[in-house]
Chain A
Amino acid sequence: MATVLHQPKQPGIGERIYQRLTDVPTWALWFLVLVWTIPSFGLFANSFRDRDAQRNDAFWNLLSERRGTLENYEAVLSSGATNDLTDSLITSLAIAVPATIIPIAFAAFAAYGFAWIDFKGRKWLFIATVSLLAIPLQVALIPLLQLFGDGTPFGGAHLTMPLTDKTLTVLPLNNLAGKASSVWLTHTGFAMPFSIFLLHNYISQLPKELFESARIDGANHFGIFWRLVLPLSIPALASFAIFQFLWTWNDYLIANTMLGFESSAPTTVRIANLAGDFDNTDHLLTAAAFVQAFVPVSVFFALQRYFVRGLLAGSVKG
């Protein structure tokens, strides 16, 4: 037994991997970064070249051609065109901002509840919620669209009271099809498992002593949540906000399915419609892609310092 205690300490597998990784020279990392950036850079260079140039030669001819043009950007941003992107950027914001804020509002409450309120079945409810991560949202598209529909076959969720003629709308969801709110609700529902998981991991790591002293000072759950947990969770909330904003901003499927005929289309849908099957506007896609990317990139850089902190949420004790 004693011999075991005197053995020199072997570094763990994780430490060894970490050692090896730190030995990788910086130029190798730069090389990887460069390789990964080439496609995006090519797209960016092509966005300054006209249709014929894009179709004839590769993007690196931009410099030798010496005839870069802003025409593509002018075309996708000119007002009046059917596929003008300026309106759709506003529609995209109108979808992405509420679809980011609503799930955060719900998930922060839920995460606090799962982490610090003791109730029966808490563990199982949490496992059930998180395991919903495995449900692909595609399977729910048709039922959701029916729920948001105009009542046929079962739009909304209604309850007819016995003995009276009154029908109560339990969930006022009907007649949402085609409205931005149907997109918000869909995004909210499918963001719940991941957001609760992420925020729970962070909130449950907060030191217990904080809560005990707050309790002694007479704070109830709501006071603790509002005055302690929320301010302390800003990094986790911000990093989830970045994730959620990127997803909803870049989402095509839900917006295209839910919005139908009543609203103007978000940027992703407009871009997909930019090049018809039988038309000669496919060269505009390059510029459109960068117009679309501009907003999330600015959001990312604005919240970047939270991003790294939040990514580590729950993984490092602090």
Chain B
Amino acid sequence: MKSTWIRLLAVVFSLALVAAACGSDTGTADTSGADDAAASLEAAQQAAEDAEARAAEAEDRAAEAEKAAEEAAMADDSEPAAAPASDRLVVTVSGPERSDAEAGALNAALEEFGNANGIAIVYKGSANWEADINIQLEAGSNPDISIFPQPGKLADFARDGRVLALPDEITEAVSANWTDSVMDFGNVDGTQFGVPNKNDLKSLVWYQPARFEAAGYTIPETLDELWALSDTMIADGNTPWCIGIESGQATGWAFTDWVEDMMLRTTTPENYDAWTTGELPFSSPEVTSAMETVLGEWNKPGAVFAAGGSIATTAFQANGEPLVNGDCMMHRQASFFSSFFPEGTPAADGTEGAVDVFYFPEGSTGRPVLGSGTLAGAFEDRPEVWAVMEYFGSPEYANARQVAQETLKRGDSETVVLSGFNTANLGADASLWHPLEQSFVGILQGAEVLRFDGSDLMPADVGAGTFWSEGTAMVNGDKSVADAAAAIDASWPS
């Protein structure tokens, strides 16, 4: 029976070898595969010398072939020989931006820089970015750079020592292109970790100028005027607001944006900062009154059109269509919302069905702007990685990405279209943008008091957790403001 066992073993073993050999199927790894196979054989059998000789032979052959290829390339002097792909420095970048237009434009902008500097830059977007980056860091297979949609996560990683602080010269070079308030987004405890990548502007109300004109409404200048306008619309039989906060796992974030804008308008910027760092609890009168103001306006009879039946079951993307159809008059949403209107909706061009924006009116605290954006953070300390990091903060990146993204979005259109990419980069060439987005870029570039989306600044447990979920419970009426605020405070990591 002994011979049978050996035969069985041999079959299993050879299958394993086949799997191993198939595993390293890239050109350069072929010889190492042979090496591995040789090593395994050595352990199992006595035919080691033979195998090793074969492996060495294979290696020699590969080297010869490589040499021949190189010589051929050298001989052909008419064309400058491009560096072989394997010789180029490689920088890997991951991030949550992943659709055709977003990832395509990012890759185009990176390729432009990479080709000019001999770096092969690979960007991969993932729908599962937040979970992926945790797993990759644990397993040591992380990318060189990741683009963070949330500074809170960047700060968590920075405090854990996973994201590397920017070298001084990079910080200096990048900060020349951004205002201090934008650079501060990537600043953790006084050290610069993040490079601003793209920005969105949140204090905006979308509306149709033609409908406002027909009904005789004027754009409100103050918060009180906005609420008065909302009441007038209800009295006229119009629905003032389109609201929907459903967004899959992130359901509730649209509500948190409203609360943040209200915080900036009903209390001081210092209180806002204290709130986002946890010093001012959710159950404090400043915060609860901001939340109550929002819910009070939403809960007025006839104030809200929700396409999905209720606010919490209406996807945030689903508010563009009803605004254009006239189901509601206004929709408060960030600048990126331009991509959620039905195809072919004109923007800011004075035509009948065009959509436009006005600034979400100021309250008693000056003219604050709520913004958000993504930040690049580096995990590896290599010169080429820092070169790419510096590029993310440069006007060249902003312009190259805008051109690429606008081209990808444009399709057959002959005029400039909305790209959905906005930046606060001071060196960005605004003339590359659509007129509507030119105003976004203008507001972002000129903003002195710019505050980052508060839920993104809070610890992820709160800002990407209970603030969303408890906020949704408040909107549904399942919980009172006081109960929900207490629950959020309880979840704040100590």
A positions within 8 Å CB-CB of B:
51-52, 55-56, 81-83, 98, 102, 105-106, 109, 113, 141-142, 145-146, 149-150, 152-153, 159, 168-170, 172, 175-179, 181-182, 184-185, 220-222, 256-257, 260-261, 265, 269, 272-282
- Assess whether B122 is interfacial by the CB under 8 Å rule: yes
B420 and A172 form a contact (CB under 8 A): no
Residue of A260, A261, A274 near B99 (CB, 8 A) is: A274
Q: Which residue of A lies closest to B341 (CB)?
A: A280
Residue of A256, A273, A282 near B317 (CB, 8 A) is: A282
A278 and B420 form a contact (CB under 8 A): yes
B343 and A184 form a contact (CB under 8 A): no
**CA of A19 to CA of B125, assembled, Å:** 55
A172 and B36 form a contact (CB under 8 A): yes
**CA of A37 to CA of B162, assembled, Å:** 48
Q: Which 7 A-B pairs have the closest CB atoms?
A: A276-B99, A181-B23, A145-B139, A172-B36, A272-B127, A279-B99, A273-B98
Interface residues on B, range: 35 or more
Chain B residues closer than 8 Å to A150, beta-carbon distance? 140
Residue of A52, A145, A265, A277 near B343 (CB, 8 A) is: A52
A29 nearest CB across to chain B (Å): 33
B340 and A273 form a contact (CB under 8 A): no
Decide if the interface of chain B is mainly helix, strand, loop or mixed.
helix
A152 nearest CB across to chain B (Å): 5
A51 and B339 form a contact (CB under 8 A): no
A142 nearest CB across to chain B (Å): 5
B321 and A55 form a contact (CB under 8 A): yes
Chain A residues closer than 8 Å to B40, beta-carbon distance? 168-170, 172
**CA of A59 to CA of B32, assembled, Å:** 55
Q: Which residue of A lies closest to B123 (CB)?
A: A261
A145 and B141 form a contact (CB under 8 A): yes
From B20, B25, B92, B96, name the one whose CB has the most chain A CB atoms within 10 angstroms. Answer: B20
Chain B residues closer than 8 Å to A273, beta-carbon distance? 98-99, 103, 125-127
A261 and B98 form a contact (CB under 8 A): no
**CA of A187 to CA of B439, assembled, Å:** 52
A109 and B8 form a contact (CB under 8 A): yes
B24 and A175 form a contact (CB under 8 A): yes
Q: B321-362 CB contact bits vs A (8 Å, 1 = yes)?
A: 100000000000000100110110000000000000000000
Chain B residues closer than 8 Å to A176, beta-carbon distance? 23-24
Selected A-B contacts with CB under 8 Å, 18 pairs:
A81-B104, A82-B100, A83-B99, A83-B100, A105-B15, A113-B8, A145-B136, A146-B138, A149-B141, A168-B42, A169-B36, A170-B40, A178-B141, A185-B23, A220-B7, A273-B125, A273-B127, A278-B336
**CA of A156 to CA of B374, assembled, Å:** 36
From A260, A269, A282, name the one whose CB has the most chain B CB atoms within 10 angstroms. Answer: A260
A82 and B104 form a contact (CB under 8 A): yes
A280 and B339 form a contact (CB under 8 A): yes
- Assess whether B102 is interfacial by the CB under 8 Å rule: yes
Q: B438-460 CB contact bits vs A (8 Å, 1 = yes)?
A: 00000000000000000000000
Q: Which residue of A lies closest to B342 (CB)?
A: A52
**CA of A81 to CA of B108, assembled, Å:** 12
**CA of A105 to CA of B339, assembled, Å:** 50
B99 and A275 form a contact (CB under 8 A): yes
- Assess whether B101 is interfacial by the CB under 8 Å rule: yes
